[in-house]
């Protein structure tokens, strides 16, 4: 594992950073969800509901699913005519998806009804809900951000051109983080005239995923070359605390084997603790504050397409799926695993001692 400091967008040499290794932790393999009608194509996103263990699932088979993990029951199976590229919850009873038909769809989970409420001019790729502004935010290949006000019955949208294709997106309180190339563009959701910050991620390759931490003070990004960067939202609070590290410093023929970090999810209650999932099926937990690798789950059978913690951090959902990026990917049916997490592992990391 290699760590680097980031301060004022400069990389410092590795010897200036001290990091520690935690003792290895043995974790049992997670339980695979038994869905009566298997998911028929690649999974694009999984998300736990804000206060329950209902799991939202979008996939290329054009079906949005809600699975009740506690009762092993499929609560919703809603078909559409397009592949679904992303999804999110609004509270416990409403969900949204975007897809290859350019549309944003709203789902009433209790009634099972859904409808398209608007569209981009090209594929709609990302969707998030902001509790602070009551907006649904979407991005697409038309190089636009669109904000849909859920307080208005006809979902009036505000559109803003960003000039580049957005790779990934995350809501961070009143701010919106967009992964564009190897940079992060930060917008204020109250004033979308333009980015208030554009941060160079110190990555050599494009950003694959971005996630904000629950306290809305920082965020993590993952790149297609297997590196993760941590940064503060407020530049005045940076103070050299940002860092970049490589999840799997593996060599092939004397060169790094580039393995994309497909998703990052923060622990809902332990600041600085997060989990990464990559193209080779590895899921690893990290403590960003004390700069420790906490533990690694048993390798999953396919790429880790998406990850999600439940509301109390006791369950971690892992989508193991082909993702249409590897030439030799075997298109076996995708699976979702539920891993029970022991919070003591995370809590002890931040208070651990040097070993």
What pLDDT score was predicted for residue 213? 95
pLDDT at 112 over 90: yes
What is the rounded distance in angstroms from the CA atom of residue 15 to the CA atom of residue 3?
9
Q: What phi, psi does 267 have (nearest 5°)?
A: -70, 135
Q: Per-residue confidence at 157, pLDDT binned at 50, 70, 90?
A: confident
CA distances from 183 to 43, 80, 88 (A): 26, 34, 24
Half-sphere exposure of 277 (CA within 13 A, CB side): 29
H helix and E strand count, the chain: 1, 33
Q: Quick one: what percent of the chain has pLDDT higher than 70?
A: 83
Maximum alpha-carbon separation in the chain:
59
What is the rounded distance in angstroms from the CA atom of residue 99 to the CA atom of residue 105?
9
* 322 compared with 303, residue with greater pLDDT: 303
What pLDDT score was predicted for residue 320? 97
Least confident of 84-93, 262-271, 322-331, 345-354: 345-354
What is the rounded distance in angstroms from the CA atom of residue 26 to the CA atom of residue 24?
7
pLDDT at 19 over 70: no
Residue pair 157/148 in contact (Cβ under 8 Å)? The answer is: yes
Least confident of 51-55, 148-152, 316-320: 148-152
**Exposed/middle/buried for residue 54 (C-beta within 10 Å: 0-12, 13-18, 19+):** buried
Least confident of 87-96, 292-301, 327-336: 327-336
Extents of the domains making up the chain: 1-32+218-355
The CATH number fitting domain 1-32+218-355, selected from 3.40.50.970, 2.130.10.10, 3.50.50.60, 2.40.50.100: 2.130.10.10
What is the rounded distance in angstroms from the CA atom of residue 260 to the CA atom of residue 203?
12
Q: Which helix (H) or strand (E) holds 147?
A: strand 144-149
pLDDT at 329 over 60: no
Residue pair 258/249 in contact (Cβ under 8 Å)? The answer is: no
Write down the mean pLDDT value for the chain: 85
Q: Per-residue confidence at 1, pLDDT binned at 50, 70, 90?
A: very low
For the segment 58-98, what is each residue's pLDDT rounded down to a tens digit?
999 999 999 999 999 999 999 999 999 999 999 999 999 99
Of 312, 300, 298, the C-alpha closest to 341 is 312
Q: What phi, psi does 15 have (nearest 5°)?
A: -60, -15
Q: What pairing do the DSSP bridges indicate for beta strands 242-246 and 251-252?
A: unpaired
Structure token pair of residue 75: 């609560």
What pLDDT score was predicted for residue 134? 95
User: For the residues of 113-129, what is the DSSP string, one character each?
Assistant: -EEEEEE-SS-EEEEEE
Work out the average pLDDT over 275-291. Answer: 92
Structure token pair of residue 68: 């009740």
Q: Per-residue confidence at 168, pLDDT binned at 50, 70, 90?
A: very high
Work out the average pLDDT over 10-25. Answer: 37
For the segment 188-219, what is each residue's pLDDT rounded down to a tens digit?
999 888 899 998 877 778 999 999 999 999 99
What is the rounded distance in angstroms from the CA atom of residue 207 to the CA atom of residue 190?
25
Q: Per-residue confidence at 4, pLDDT binned at 50, 70, 90?
A: very low
pTM: 0.88
């Amino acid at each position: 594992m290699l760590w680097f400091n980031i301060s004022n967008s400069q990389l410092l040499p590795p010897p200036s950073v001290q990091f520690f290794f935690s003792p290895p932790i043995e974790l049992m393999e997670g339980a695979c969800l038994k869905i009566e009608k298997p998911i028929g194509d690649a999974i694009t996103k999984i998300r736990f509901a804000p206060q329950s263990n209902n799991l939202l699932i979008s996939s290329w088979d054009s079906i949005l699913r809600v699975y009740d993990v506690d009762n092993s029951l499929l609560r919703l199976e809603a078909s559409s005519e397009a592949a679904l590229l992303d999804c999110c919850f609004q509270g416990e009873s409403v969900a949204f998806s975007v897809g290859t038909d350019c549309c944003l769809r709203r789902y009433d989970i209790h009634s099972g009804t859904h409808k398209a409420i608007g569209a981009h001019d090209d594929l709609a790729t990302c969707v998030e809900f902001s509790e602070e502004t009551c907006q649904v935010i979407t991005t697409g290949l038309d190089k636009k951000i669109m904000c849909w006000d859920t307080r208005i019955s006809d979902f009036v949208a505000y559109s803003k051109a960003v000039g580049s294709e957005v790779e990934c997106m995350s809501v961070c309180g009143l701010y919106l983080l967009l992964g564009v190339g190897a940079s992060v563009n930060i917008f204020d959701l109250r004033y979308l005239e333009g980015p208030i910050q554009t941060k160079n991620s110190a990555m050599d390759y494009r950003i694959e995923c971005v996630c904000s931490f629950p306290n809305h003070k920082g965020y993590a990004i993952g790149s297609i070359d297997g590196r993760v960067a941590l940064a503060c939202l407020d530049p005045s609070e940076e103070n050299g605390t940002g860092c970049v590290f490589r999840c799997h410093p593996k060599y092939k023929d004397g060169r790094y084997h580039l393995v994309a970090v497909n998703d990052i999810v923060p622990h809902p209650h332990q600041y600085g603790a997060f989990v990464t999932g990559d193209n080779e099926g590895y899921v690893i937990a990290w403590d960003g504050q004390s700069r420790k690798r906490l533990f690694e789950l048993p390798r999953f059978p396919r790429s880790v397409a998406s990850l999600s913690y439940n509301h109390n951090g006791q369950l971690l959902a892992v989508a193991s799926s082909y993702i249409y990026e590897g030439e030799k990917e075997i298109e076996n049916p995708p699976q979702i695993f539920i891993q029970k997490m022991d919070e003591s592992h995370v809590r002890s990391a931040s208070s651990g001692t040097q070993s």
